């Protein structure tokens, strides 16, 4: 197709929930502006959804409840997949690509866990599988990593990439609200996943981190190697101690290239209050990226919600429309941004990382316990940066320790030895600390 012959680009949508519906509405609302940008009309001709009714969309749109009606419709040029999950989403996307259709997906689980297979199908069929909306909602972070920063060797990136988790931590910190109560509100606002444990246990963030790391470092998607820890054990007490020490608690996805390979980890993290990342609140997402030429750049914006996510879905549709109009016989960009991958870069185990730590240790209020803890830490080459010991109206008091950089493997051994002390009355709470200096 060239710009002379193109009257319109035809889109089919599979799944009409928050993101699918938002994408349809955005195309209707901004259609004229988009046509000015692209040079032709982008028309939604078919939608498949179990819940859609004819009153929801324009009468010209063909609706059904079978996504394969969309995928097998010869008129459709681009399929938007917003069903989510794997079944039937995997087969819907695979079939669309095999039929020579371009696909735009918002499905981070699908990309992170089955993306390697699907990108191969896309390549065989010379079509694009685009996935901007799968990471950080409305922030164009895939484009930034794959195109804007393509002259750099990326050293590391760190992101607040789950809006629900950030919303919960923000409300807990600012309004002392209960975890469960804030989660219900996030579900009502359409931020949370169908299964909200994906949000609070870090799985959603791990999907997104897996995708970003693959693009940042030119490695295959390796979700199963991403270390994942959620926020459900974080207490208001930890948030309070972190504040006293000059930090905020954020749930971060961190990917870093080291001499040993690539670290990929999702966990609650103390970050200095003065860092811009620390002030990203509510459903906001932000990704800090360090490239060896540019230094640090920060991408900030809404990470969830209908309009924000639709903004990224439709940007992908526009990119594909432009490529079609230019008459390209295959996609301009490799899916992960690299023609020749770094297959030799191994993912480092969490035990091999080195970072600083916050430890909250519940102890019986007796003389000498702090000395015993210090001695254990010293025995594992872990030095102490700061200590808080609060007198409470109880026999059990928390000792809070910030360490200097230590090897996680040694810290684990030290924690086991500390928990075995007679006067330590419960589990040690450990939160990793990252300063992102330089």
Taking the CB of residue 63, how many other CB atoms lie within 10 A of it? 18
Tell me the window of 159-167, 341-349, 392-400, 405-413 that interacts with ligand HSE (CB under 6 A): 159-167
Q: Is 95 in the site for ligand HSE (CB under 6 A)?
A: no
Which positions from 313 to 352 touch ligand HSE by CB under 6 A, shown as an x/- string? ----------------------------------------
For residue 376, the minimal CB distance to ligand HSE (Å) is 39
From 208, 225, 250, 324, active-site residue: 208
Q: What are the strands, taking DSSP E only, across 126-243?
A: 129-130, 154-160, 227-228
Within positions 192 to 221, which residues make up the interface with ligand HSE, using CB under 6 A?
192-193, 199, 204
Provide long-range contacts, Cβ within 8 A and 24+ apart, for 147-152.
147/333, 147/337, 149/289, 149/291, 149/294, 149/297, 150/337, 151/291, 151/293, 152/291, 152/292, 152/293, 152/294
71 vs 161 by CB, closer to ligand HSE: 161
168 vs 242 by CB, closer to ligand HSE: 168
* Strand 261-272 to 429-433 pairing: parallel
204 vs 356 by CB, closer to ligand HSE: 204
Tell me the window of 65-73, 113-121, 160-168, 351-359 that interacts with ligand HSE (CB under 6 A): 160-168
304 vs 397 by CB, closer to ligand HSE: 304
For residue 95, the minimal CB distance to ligand HSE (Å) is 24
Q: Are 401 and 241 in contact (CB under 8 A)?
A: no
Residue of 74, 109, 110, 76 whose CA lies nearest to 91: 110
**Residues in CB range of 223: below 8 A, 6 or more apart:** 112, 113, 206, 207, 210
Using CA atoms, how far apart are residues 390 and 336, in angstroms rounded to an integer? 50
Provide φ and ψ at 51, rounded to 5°.
-110, -5
**Residues in CB range of 407: below 8 A, 6 or more apart:** 351, 352, 353, 354, 381
Q: Return the residue of 164, 170, 210, 300 that touches ligand HSE, per CB under 6 A.
A: 164
Tell me the window of 145-153, 185-193, 209-217, 293-301 that interacts with ligand HSE (CB under 6 A): 185-193
21 vs 303 by CB, closer to ligand HSE: 303
For residue 329, the minimal CB distance to ligand HSE (Å) is 33
By three-state DSSP, how is residue 431 classified? strand
Within positions 49 to 68, which residues make up the interface with ligand HSE, using CB under 6 A?
none
Q: Is 163 in the site for ligand HSE (CB under 6 A)?
A: yes
226 vs 323 by CB, closer to ligand HSE: 226
81 vs 199 by CB, closer to ligand HSE: 199
For residue 203, the minimal CB distance to ligand HSE (Å) is 10
- Residue written as tokens 């109880």? 394
Using CA atoms, how far apart are residues 135 and 170, in angstroms rounded to an integer? 20
For residue 139, the minimal CB distance to ligand HSE (Å) is 11
Q: Is 418 in the site for ligand HSE (CB under 6 A)?
A: no
What are the respective helix, strand and coil percentages of the chain, to the nearest 5? 40, 25, 35
- The size of the interface with ligand HSE (CB under 6 A), counted in residues, is 11
Please confirm, yes or no, whether 175 is among the known catalytic residues.
Answer: no
138 vs 337 by CB, closer to ligand HSE: 138
- Residue written as tokens 């980890």? 265
213 vs 401 by CB, closer to ligand HSE: 213
Tell me the window of 80-88, 162-170, 354-362, 410-418 that interacts with ligand HSE (CB under 6 A): 162-170
How close are the terminal C-alpha atoms of the chain, in Å?
48
**Residues in CB range of 140: below 8 A, 6 or more apart:** 132, 299, 312, 315
Q: Return the residue of 17, 21, 115, 137 that touches ligand HSE, per CB under 6 A.
A: 137
Using CA atoms, how far apart are residues 230 and 99, in angstroms rounded to an integer? 39
Using CA atoms, how far apart are residues 382 and 17, in angstroms rounded to an integer? 50
Q: Are 281 and 155 in contact (CB under 8 A)?
A: no
Taking the CB of residue 201, how many other CB atoms lie within 10 A of it? 18
Tell me the window of 156-164, 242-250, 318-326, 338-346 that interacts with ligand HSE (CB under 6 A): 156-164
Within positions 254 to 313, which residues make up the interface with ligand HSE, using CB under 6 A?
303-304
For residue 191, the minimal CB distance to ligand HSE (Å) is 4
Q: Is 253 in the site for ligand HSE (CB under 6 A)?
A: no
For residue 137, the minimal CB distance to ligand HSE (Å) is 5
Q: Max CA-CA distance within the chain?
A: 85
Q: Is 162 in the site for ligand HSE (CB under 6 A)?
A: yes
Residues serving a catalytic function are 208
Residues that bind ligand HSE (CB under 6 A): 137, 162-164, 191-193, 199, 204, 303-304
């Amino acid at each position: 197709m060239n710009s002379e012959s193109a009257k319109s680009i035809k889109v089919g949508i599979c799944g009409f929930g928050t993101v699918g519906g938002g994408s349809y509405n955005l195309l209707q609302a901004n259609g004229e502006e988009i046509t000015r940008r692209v040079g032709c009309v982008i028309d939604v001709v078919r939608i498949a959804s179990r819940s859609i009714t004819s009153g929801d969309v324009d009468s010209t749109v063909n609706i059904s409840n079978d996504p394969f009606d969309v995928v097998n419709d010869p008129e459709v040029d681009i399929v938007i997949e917003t069903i989510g999950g794997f079944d039937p989403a995997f087969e819907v996307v695979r079939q669309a690509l095999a039929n020579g259709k371009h696909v735009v997906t918002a499905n981070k689980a699908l990309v992170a866990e089955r993306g390697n297979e699907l990108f191969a199908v896309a390549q065989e069929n010379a079509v694009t599988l685009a996935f901007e909306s799968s990471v950080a909602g409305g922030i164009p972070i895939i484009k930034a990593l794959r195109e804007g920063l393509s002259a750099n060797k990326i050293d590391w990136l760190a992101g607040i990439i789950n809006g629900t988790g950030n919303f919960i931590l923000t409300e807990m910190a600012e309004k002392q609200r209960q975890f469960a109560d804030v989660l219900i509100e996030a579900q009502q606002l359409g931020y949370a996943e169908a299964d909200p444990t994906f949000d609070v246990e870090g799985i959603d963030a791990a999907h997104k981190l897996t995708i970003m790391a693959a693009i940042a470092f030119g490695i295959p998607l390796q979700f199963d190697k991403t270390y994942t820890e959620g926020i459900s054990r974080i207490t208001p007490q930890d948030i309070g101690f972190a504040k006293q020490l000059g930090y905020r608690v954020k749930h971060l996805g961190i990917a870093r290239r080291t001499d040993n390979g690539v670290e990929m980890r999702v966990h609650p993290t103390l970050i200095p209050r003065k860092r811009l990342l620390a002030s990203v609140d509510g459903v906001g997402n932000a990704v800090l990226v360090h490239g060896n030429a540019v230094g640090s750049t920060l991408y900030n914006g809404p990470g969830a919600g209908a309009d924000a996510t639709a903004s990224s879905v439709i940007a992908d549709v526009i990119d594909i429309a432009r490529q079609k109009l230019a008459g390209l016989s295959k996609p301009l960009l490799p899916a992960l941004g690299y023609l020749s991958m770094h297959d030799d870069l191994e993912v480092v185990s969490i035990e091999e990382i080195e970072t600083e730590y916050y430890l909250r240790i519940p102890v019986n209020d007796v003389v000498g316990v702090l000395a015993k803890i210090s001695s254990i830490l010293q025995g594992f080459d872990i030095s102490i940066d700061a200590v808080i010991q609060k007198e409470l109206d109880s026999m059990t008091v928390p000792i809070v320790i910030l360490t200097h950089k230590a090897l996680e493997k040694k810290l684990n051994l030290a924690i086991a030895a500390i928990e075995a002390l007679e006067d330590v009355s419960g589990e040690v709470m450990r939160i990793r600390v990252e300063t992102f200096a330089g």
